[in-house]
Amino acid sequence: MMTTMAGDTARLRATVDFVREQDSATLLSLLLPGLDGPELRMLTDRCRFAHAAVLLCPPDQGALRAALADCGLSADTPVRPSVVVRDRLAARHGRAASELDVGILRPAVVGPDGSPRTVEVFALAVPPGSPLAPVAERERARQHESHLAFEVDRPDPLTLRGLCALFAAHGALPDGGGYNPHEDGTVFYFTAPADSKSGYGRVELYVPGDHQDVLAAHLDEHRARMPAEALLRLLTGAWTTQALAACAQLRLPDALSEDTATGVAALAREVGAVPDHLATLLRHLAMLGMVVEEHDGFRLTGTGALLRADAPGSMRPLALLYGGPFYESFAGLGHTVRTGQVAFEHRFGENHFDHFARHPELAALFDESMAASSPMFEPLPAHPALVAAAEGPGPRTVVDVAGGNGELLGRVLAAHPGLRGVLLERPHVVESARRSLDAAGVGDRCATVAGDFADVPPGGDVYVLSRVLHDWDDDRCREILRHVARAMPGHADLLIVERVLPSDGSASLATAWDLHMMCNVGGRERRYEHFARLLGSAGLVLMGRTPLPLDGNVLHARRAAR
């Protein structure tokens, strides 16, 4: 068995010849035996053979460049760090990732039809006498990182799901994947079918762009084949919550750039952290897609930028709440399930609303966190009930009951200059809401009322209850709805913004929030039919619902005819 650099060069040459000689249709037929004519035409119309990959273990850069030149490849091809392969090698061989210097380069090769292709070369540096020699020997023998890659043209979610299903139907099993922000591309890995004649054990579908929904389904299938690993990932979810909270506490996103990398030492000085410990946190954040690790440090991603304090709709307050008081209360979830007592009250000795009212910094954080859900509100001003009110004769008024910091009402009034607004809130919130409405430029058209649900202002044209009912049990919800119904004129509309539990058990954010509301405020999410019954008990009729982003819904109700 060849275990030297000469053997690496021979493997590289064989890979180059393979890439130069294969055409997509022939290779797909070898890879997925049993493809019929229509299936093969669909694949060749959507996929093209892009590269084959090989792992080399050169002693140094000079030896790597020499091997490239010997195989007719450009010796000047740039080398970039390969974080994914480095981490795979570390996990496979029980090594620290910091021990492994892995680069990736893609020298160009021309296919038989003149099409551009590449050879994907992973290079693990193994100097003479290195303790990594056994790793190199095993990798040379087993070639775990060798794979074929097909690039998908004209990708869309339906096409991607169809391609993944077709691969699976012919025995190619999901084997991981991920999104690479360096290249703005998504990778779907498969193990080749047992009867594949391609000579490669793994295959990759490379898709330009970010395709998180399809990728998530692909990764779920992969984890389903590895139940212990899937369960372990779920059990470590609390670590992820705390990593994101620590990121927000340290204001790492504010200290990082989306354009250039920052070294760990400089970043540690800026945020006041221990460099080695900060590097450990950053590597976990890189795995979560919050930052990207580059050869000279870490760079912020678009997702990570949502944790900046000044980001529009910043999610930093949510990270601090979910990693702070709500994290503590969730430790009592079992207590809530056993006793029915709200875990937040068990932990802090008082209910969520009173506790936050007594701690102004938490109350402010909670109000700020509401802005993180602003995407849910974006379509709401276009709801027919609001449009009709805005276009109706005379001045029309929107009453936002328990309207928080005025984010939603400000959006509605900004979209409809002819409308006026009234915001009802607790006394300690009204001042913040007034500032928010003034900042939105609608303060002159909006009154604020300090009070409780019993103080719902009468005579409005549209009433809004946004994420209010899920805070309360059914008895309190009936009471709230009766207060609103008594205030509503006969022509008025009621818009209720809530997440609605799916009736078929399908995945939904509402299911997770149902657990959160039970644990932290003693409330709940509800199904559509449940809302209809609650409204009916208050003399209101549920007219229908309209979907919103973030699994939200607008429920439209009116007073029952008498």
Number of domains making up the chain: 3
State pLDDT tens for residues 59-84.
Answer: 999 999 999 999 999 988 888 888 77
Does residue 328 fall inside a structural domain?
Answer: no
The residue out of 202, 225, 248 marking a domain boundary is 225
Same domain, 35 and 105: yes
- Say if residue 118 is in the same domain as residue 242: no
Read off the pTM.
0.65
Q: How many residues does the chain have?
A: 562
Question: Which residue reads 């229908």 in tokens?
Answer: 544
Q: Is 288 exposed, middle or buried (0-12, 13-18, 19+ CB in 10 A)?
A: middle
pLDDT computed for residue 1 by the predictor: 36
Per-residue model confidence (pLDDT) at position 155? 84
In a domain, 335, yes or no: no
> Residue 541 domain-assigned?
yes
Classified as helix, coil or strand, 179 is strand
Closest CA to 381 of 407, 405, 343: 407
User: Can you give the residue range of the structural domain that contains 392?
Assistant: 377-559
Q: Does residue 387 share a domain with residue 282? A: no
> What's the pLDDT at 199?
87
* pLDDT at residue 371, as a whole number: 67
CA 18/CA 51 separation, integer angstroms: 9
Same domain, 31 and 169: yes
In a domain? residue 368: no
- Rounded-to-integer distance, Cα 332 and Cα 328, Å: 8
Q: At what angle do helices 474-487 and 528-537 cross, to 10 degrees?
A: 60
- Tell me which of 218, 470, 516, 556 is the catalytic residue: 470
Helix (H) or strand (E) holding 114: none
Q: Kindly give the confidence (pLDDT) of every residue in the chain, 562 residues in length, as a single tens digit, with 9 standing for 90 and above.
A: 344 788 899 999 999 999 999 999 999 999 998 888 899 998 999 999 999 999 999 999 999 999 999 999 998 888 888 877 888 888 888 887 778 889 999 999 999 989 899 999 999 999 988 889 889 988 998 888 999 999 998 888 888 999 999 998 898 989 888 887 767 889 899 999 988 998 898 999 999 988 888 998 888 887 777 677 768 778 888 999 999 999 999 999 999 999 999 999 999 999 999 999 999 999 999 888 899 888 789 999 888 999 999 998 899 999 999 999 999 999 999 999 999 999 999 999 998 888 988 898 898 888 788 767 777 788 999 999 999 999 988 889 999 999 988 989 999 999 999 999 999 998 888 988 899 899 989 999 999 999 999 999 999 999 999 999 999 999 999 999 999 999 999 999 999 999 999 988 777 889 999 999 999 999 999 999 999 999 999 999 999 999 988 889 999 999 998 6
- Amino acid in the structure at residue 214: V
Q: What is the CATH number of the domain that holds 215?
A: 3.10.180.10
**Final residue of a structural domain among 323, 355, 387:** 323
Domain assignment present for residue 349? The answer is no
Half-sphere exposure of 2 (CA within 13 A, CB side): 12
Both 444 and 485 in one domain: the answer is yes
| CATH at 410 | 3.40.50.150
* 60 plus 209 within the same structural domain: yes
Q: Which of 289, 323, 357 is the last residue of a domain?
A: 323
Same domain, 102 and 83: yes
Which has the closest alpha carbon to 128: 58, 184, 77, 79?
Answer: 58
Under DSSP, is residue 528 helix (H, G, I), strand (E, B) or coil?
helix
Paired strand residues for 14: none
pLDDT at 4: 77
Evaluate whether residue 362 is within a structural domain: no
Alpha helices in 332-397 (DSSP H): 333-339, 343-348, 352-358, 360-369, 374-377, 384-391
* Residue 188 within any structural domain of the chain: yes
Tally Cβ neighbours within 10 Å of residue 111: 17
Q: b/e per residue, 84-94, with b = 16+ CB within 10 A?
A: bbbbbbbeeee
Same domain? For 387 and 468 the reply is yes
Q: Work out the end-to-end distance of the chain between its first and last CA atoms, rounded to an integer number of angstroms.
A: 90
Residue 51 tokens read as 């590269």
Residues 204 and 316 in one domain: no
- 220 and 232 share one domain: no
Cα–Cα distance measured from residue 272 to residue 286, given in angstroms and rounded to the nearest whole number = 20
* Residue 276 belongs to some domain of the structure: yes
- CATH code for position 300: 1.10.10.10
Question: Are 198 and 265 contained in the same domain?
Answer: no
Known catalytic membership, residue 352: no
Structure tokens at 77: 């091809």
Same domain, 296 and 443: no
